[in-house]
Amino acid sequence: MKKYNYIVKISINPDEGFWGGCVDDGVKMPLTDKSDYAYDCAADTVGNPYTGLLVSNKGRYAYFRGASSITVHGGMLTVSSYEDIVYKDGFNDFRSAYLDAAKEFFDKDELSVPKELLLKPQFCTWTECGVNVTADKTIDYAKSVSRAGYSHGVIIIDDGWMNDYGDWTFNAEKFPDPAKTIKTLHEAGFKVMLWVVPFVNKTAKDYNLLLKNNALIRDESGNAALKTWWNGRSALLDMTSEFAVNWLKKELNALLALGADGFKFDAGGVRFYSESDVNEANTDVVGESRAYADFAYSYHYTELKECVNFGGGHAVTRLRDKRRNFDLTEGLGALVPNMIQAGICGYFYCCADMIGGGQISDFISGKDKTFDYETISRFCECSALMPCMQFSHAYWNKDENVKELFAKYVALHDEVSEYKKELISAAEKHREPILRSLEYVFPHQGFYAEKTAFMLGNRYLVAPVTEQGKTQKTVTLPKGKWLYLGKTGYTGGKTVTVSAPVGTLPYFVYDGE
């Protein structure tokens, strides 16, 4: 890897914390004078949204575009980049520093986020059907959502609907009449999104055509560079190639013509590219990844999991697949800090993965037949007041208690929809996060390191229980008056402990100063 040619060093002060960079590293924030940290977006191996922005509670920030790295050691924060690094200080607080950076550097997106993706729960076939999804299974799944009485906006038909990786036509055995299937889902009140990846199998119908027209990433010998991913080894579209872009656009537009509304663009992160790649634009791994994300952003209904410096855009992003457990880095415990990080990075419409986790290994070999009520309940509670709420595994068909619990928190998600419309507007017009840290809303009260609670806008303080076996939640309330669960009054500026048995999401409504 070539050396970065722009470097800025920042001495971190006591009681100072920086947030930003890699969304999946929210669990490691804030970066303080005691941190020992390193991350290079060009060497990412796990798949994340990333934005080259670091914001401090002391009112300063650094912004850097393109490939970059962040290190902290011995109280010194070092930012390295191929492009110029902007450093600014002198702001009053975290929010004012952040807004200056967001106004100056975040993308000015011409499209707006489809409101159905945020105001109503999403449903995805992935952990319910896996790659064995069919038209009948999808329609039965959608009908079960309606029978349960859950509001719904979008259904995502995940991996398995198509003929091959790189052949984005419906598999006729699984979906004999895709237009009819989509029409049926529309009539049931669902917008329909389809899963897509940039990989192309050698068995795909247009593989040779793409190879002939240099539309695939090549190795140094000029051959298609085969990439290892979770479904094997495949070639990879060169999205810097005009031929590749036009080919994929034609494939996807044919699906829109059948009635599909948009796409879930999976993969495409820098982890699937390498420095030895040969591409039409002669760009680096970040440039290759950004070309795929650029394409994804051309669609209105779009979900994107891996991208670099697309803060402020209209796409719904998603945290990488989580395990069905309470783990602080791979499971439920990672959701709140990583969602706070997503907002700071400009991914305002981020989904905290699927309720119960989206790691398919937790749902195969009979594991889907058993589940722990506490785990599923806490996942659902945690997502209810986040920007997006996405279900996948149909737990509601397996247990009446789960069905009722989901109904309770779908109702809460619906209840705040009018307020969320205001927050969506603020995100679009002013680049304000929807999900915010307490430090963002209540500066200089000692919340810069708080990552077990978050704010939905400026009104709801949400403190999910993310530790197994806990039935209480201890929360430090900012100054002011607060209503626990919208009812019981508390005076802020102090730490309180509230009852939070399984099935109860601790949240407080701000009731003024």
The H or E element containing residue 246 is: helix 242-257
Maximum CA extent, the chain: 70
461 DSSP assignment: E
Distance in angstroms (rounded) separating the CA atoms of residues 356 and 380: 7
Output the tens digit of pLDDT for each of the chain's 513 residues. 568 989 999 999 999 999 999 999 999 999 999 999 999 999 998 888 999 999 999 999 999 988 999 999 999 999 999 999 999 999 999 999 999 999 999 977 777 999 999 999 999 999 999 999 999 999 999 999 999 999 999 999 999 999 999 999 999 999 999 999 999 999 999 999 999 999 999 999 999 999 999 999 999 999 999 999 999 999 999 999 999 999 999 999 999 999 999 999 999 999 999 999 999 999 999 999 999 999 999 999 999 999 999 999 999 999 999 999 999 999 999 999 999 999 999 999 999 999 999 999 888 766 556 679 999 999 999 999 999 999 999 999 999 999 999 999 999 999 999 999 999 999 999 999 999 999 999 999 999 999 999 999 999 999 999 999 999 999 999 999 999 999 999 999 999 999 999 999 999 999 998
Distance in angstroms (rounded) separating the CA atoms of residues 350 and 190: 20
3-state secondary structure of 137: helix
- Contacts for 296 with CB less than 8 Å, ≥ 6 apart: 263, 265, 268, 302, 304, 307, 315
Instruction: Determine phi and psi for 446, rounding to 5 degrees.
Output: 85, 20
In 136-295 the beta strands, taken as DSSP E runs, fall at 154-157, 162-164, 167-170, 191-196, 199-200, 227-229, 232-236, 262-265
CA distances from 279 to 137, 198, 238, 290, 460 (A): 40, 14, 6, 13, 47
Residue 493: is it exposed, middle or buried by C-beta count within 10 angstroms (0-12/13-18/19+)?
Answer: exposed
3-state secondary structure of 276: coil
Residue 280: is it exposed, middle or buried by C-beta count within 10 angstroms (0-12/13-18/19+)?
Answer: middle
Domains of the chain are 6-105 (no CATH), 116-198+243-273+283-422 (3.20.20.80), 431-510 (2.60.40.1180)
Give helix 178-187 / helix 135-148 axis angle, nearest 10°.
0
